[in-house]
Chains A and B, each alone.
Chain A
Amino acid sequence: MKKLNFNNRVSDDDEKLIRILKESIGQEPSGQFIENTLEKFLTLKTKQNSVHKPLKLPLYMMLVIVLILLVPIIFSFGSQISLPDAGFNLENFFENMAFQLDSWYMLSPMLLVLVLLSVVWIELGLVKFRNPFV
Chain B
Amino acid sequence: MDKSTYSEDTAIESARIGKDDGYRYLLEKYQTYAFSIAIGIVKNEANAEEVVQDSFIRVFKNIAKFKKTGKFSTWLYRIVYNTSLTSLKGKRKIDLRSLNELENYEFDIPDNYANGFDNLARNDKISFVNKAIANLSESENLVVTLYYLNECSIIEIGQITGWNTATIKTRLYRARQNLYVELSKLLGNERNNIR
Contact = CB atoms under 8 A, between A and B. Distances in A.
Interface string B75-112: 00000000000000000000000000000011111000
A20 interface: yes
A37 B35 contact: no
B107 A27 contact: no
Interface residues of B, number: 47
B2 interface: no
Main secondary structure of the interface of A (DSSP, over half): helix
A110 interface: no
B30 to A, nearest CB: 11
Interface in A11-52: 16-18, 20-30, 33-34, 36-38, 40-42, 44-45
A25 B144 contact: yes
A18 B130 CA distance: 13
B60 A25 contact: no
Given A2-B106, A41-B57, A44-B57, A28 B31 contact: yes
Interface in B136-170: 141, 144-145, 147-149, 151, 154, 169
A33 B45 CA distance: 12
Contact of B36 (A20, A25, A33): A25
Q: Which of A6, A18, A42 has the most CB of B within 10 A?
A: A6
B132 to A, nearest CB: 9
Nearest to B46: A30
A20 B52 CA distance: 24
Task: Sort chain A's interface into a size bin.
Answer: 20 to 34
Contacts of A24: 126, 129-130, 133
Interface of B: 18, 20, 23-24, 27-28, 31-33, 35-36, 39-40, 45, 48-49, 52-53, 56-57, 60-61, 105-109, 117-118, 125-126, 129-130, 133, 141, 144-145, 147-149, 151, 154, 169, 172-173, 176, 179
Interface of A: 1-4, 6, 9, 16-18, 20-30, 33-34, 36-38, 40-42, 44-45
14 contacts: A3-B106, A6-B169, A17-B117, A17-B179, A21-B129, A24-B129, A27-B39, A28-B32, A28-B35, A33-B31, A34-B28, A37-B57, A40-B53, A44-B57
